[in-house]
């Protein structure tokens, strides 16, 4: 039934609804009952000062509170009724929760490097994170996929991606010039990046929870014609040339990989019930956090792809991904990443989806903006098509 309103009721100056005389805010539209009330001066909240918030791209350099631009006072209206969305993210008129910037975000630090991260269809939040950096002809791609049966893995993946990127930003060391020395020096940097990511994950644990946050971790660094890469868990790095066969560069830490190494065909192993149970991860109780590290020389133009299993669930083999690159009908990385995310969603969208691309060899011809989109943050989730990934 309708609520009782006293004889001294006043009319909302915005929507005309009746409210109690003492009401400061309208019960119907949520706006101030005072006409022409001045807008509140934006203040920097703790979350806004935090580089791991839902506003800043994780790839961005950390912004100090005194340097951050003023927070935009106006918010987009509710998509359901056009009402005002309050500070808590819910519409003041119909109560619908507004979409989070984390549901879908995009980054493009250079015309030849881009990434898209999407919540997918099935999951209620996005637990993936990506972090991209470009310095001249050098590119860094980091993807972390929060383990879905753990608490706060969305927070963990963000923290890990940020910390790992910070380690991988500088040029990789050259060692003493001989191949063995270079490989040892690069391996140490990737190991340090994984350790930094793991430390960041552990620092997100504030309570004694039975399933503490954890995530996968892959990174790829393109320097000249050399791709260096590493991985923990079952997110992946692919090298997909324009001509010839592609490669899965990383080796999964998963039960599916155990089956593959035992002779089970990949398609059968990845369709098994425990396929997405991972055997290593970043976070508490992982057996170890030392990544497998490798490198490969690029011999022709193509694409370096880092992704979560939300994509490769539907196109695991390199030739299947190369077919989707062709189907995108573009040589621009943002358009291709958008197509790959749409492909995964059309295929079921059972998981969060993260796609990060860097062009190797010939650069795309289209002119595109080099700035990140206004929604860019960092995001995605680690779960199998049947509902979720778990620790092995």
Confidence of residue 247 (pLDDT cuts 50, 70, 90): very high
pLDDT category at 297 given cuts 50, 70, 90 is: very high
329 domain residue, yes or no: yes
**Percent of the chain having pLDDT more than 90?**
57
Instruction: Supply the pLDDT for residue 384.
Output: 43
User: Does 49 map to a domain?
Assistant: no
Give the three-state DSSP class for 337.
Answer: helix
Please list, in sequence order, all residues whose beta carbon lies within 8 angstroms of the beta carbon of residue 110, skipping any fewer than 6 positions away.
Answer: 134, 139, 370
In a domain? residue 341? yes
Q: How many domains does the chain have?
A: 1
Residue range(s) defining the domain that contains residue 117: 101-391
H helix runs in the chain, sequence order: 46-49, 153-168, 179-202, 255-261, 266-270, 309-312, 318-328, 333-346
Query: Quick one: pLDDT at residue 227?
Result: 97
- Is 169 exposed, middle or buried (CB count within 10 Å of its CB: 0-12, 13-18, 19+)? middle
For residues 114 and 369, give the distance between their C-alpha atoms in angstroms, rounded to a whole number. 11
378 has a pLDDT exceeding 90: no
pLDDT in tens, 140-178: 999 999 998 888 999 999 999 999 999 999 999 987 778
The verdict on residue 63 lying in a domain is no
Residue 65 reports pLDDT greater than 60: no
**Could you report the per-residue pLDDT of 78-110, keeping only the tens digit for each?**
767 888 888 777 888 888 877 778 888 899 999
In a domain, 356, yes or no: yes
Return phi, psi of residue 229, to 5°.
-150, 160
User: In this prediction, what percent of the chain has a pLDDT beyond 70?
Assistant: 73
Answer whether residue 43 is part of any domain: no
pTM as predicted: 0.75
Query: Considering the domain boundaries, does residue 247 fall inside one?
Result: yes
Kindly tell me if the per-residue pLDDT of 5 is higher than 90.
Answer: no
**Confidence band of 68 (pLDDT split at 50, 70, 90):** very low
Assess whether pLDDT exceeds 80 at residue 228: yes
For residue 27, with 0-12 CB atoms within 10 Å meaning exposed, 13-18 middle and 19 or more buried, which class applies? middle
Alpha-carbon gap, residue 119 to 97, rounded angstroms: 15
The model's pLDDT over 182-191, given as tens digits with 9 standing for 90+, comes to 899 999 999 9
Task: Give the C-alpha separation, 354 to 340, whole Å.
Answer: 9
pLDDT digit string (tens) for 26-39?
554 555 566 643 33
Within-domain flag for 107: yes
pLDDT band at 53 (very low <50, low <70, confident <90, very high): very low
CATH of the domain at 136: 3.60.40.10
- Quote the CA–CA distance of 198 and 347 in Å, as a whole number: 32
Question: Which comes out higher in pLDDT, residue 98 or 12?
Answer: 98
């Amino acid at each position: 039934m309708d609520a009782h309103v006293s004889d001294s009721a006043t009319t909302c100056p915005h929507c005309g609804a009746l409210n109690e005389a003492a009401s400061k805010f309208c019960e119907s539209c949520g706006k101030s009952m005072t006409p022409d009330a001045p807008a509140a001066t934006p203040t920097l909240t703790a979350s806004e000062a935090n580089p791991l918030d839902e506003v800043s791209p994780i790839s961005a350099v950390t912004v100090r509170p005194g340097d951050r631009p003023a927070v935009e006072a106006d918010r987009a209206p509710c998509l359901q009724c056009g009402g005002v969305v309050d500070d808590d993210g819910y519409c003041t008129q119909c109560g619908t929760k507004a979409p989070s910037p984390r549901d879908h975000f995009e980054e493009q630090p250079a015309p030849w490097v881009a990434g898209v991260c999407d919540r997918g269809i099935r999951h209620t939040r996005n637990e993936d994170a990506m972090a991209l950096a470009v310095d001249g002809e050098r590119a860094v791609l980091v993807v972390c996929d929060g383990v879905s049966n753990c608490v706060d893995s969305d927070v963990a993946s963000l923290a890990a991606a940020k910390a790992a990127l910070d380690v991988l930003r500088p040029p990789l060391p050259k060692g003493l010039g001989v191949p063995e020395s270079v490989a040892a020096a690069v391996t140490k940097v990737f190991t340090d990046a994984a350790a930094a990511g793991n430390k960041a994950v552990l620092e997100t644990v504030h309570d004694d929870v039975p399933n503490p946050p954890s995530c996968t971790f892959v990174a790829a660094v393109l320097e000249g014609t050399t791709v260096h890469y590493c991985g923990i868990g079952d997110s992946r790095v692919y090298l997909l040339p324009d001509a010839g066969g592609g490669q899965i560069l990383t080796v999964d830490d998963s039960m599916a990989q155990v089956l593959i190494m035992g002779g089970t065909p990949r398609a059968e192993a990845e369709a098994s019930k425990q396929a997405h149970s991972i055997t290593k991860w970043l976070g508490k109780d992982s057996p170890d956090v030392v990544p497998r590290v490798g490198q490969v020389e690029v011999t022709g133009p193509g694409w370096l792809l880092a992704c979560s299993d939300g994509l490769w669930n539907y196109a695991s083999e390199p030739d299947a991904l190369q077919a989707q690159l062709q189907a995108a009908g573009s040589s621009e990385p943002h358009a291709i990443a958008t197509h790959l995310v749409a492909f995964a969603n059309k295929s079921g969208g059972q998981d969060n989806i993260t796609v990060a691309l860097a062009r190797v060899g010939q650069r795309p011809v289209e002119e595109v903006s080099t700035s990140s989109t206004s929604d860019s943050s960092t995001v995605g989730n680690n779960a199998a098509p049947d509902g979720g990934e778990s620790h092995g």
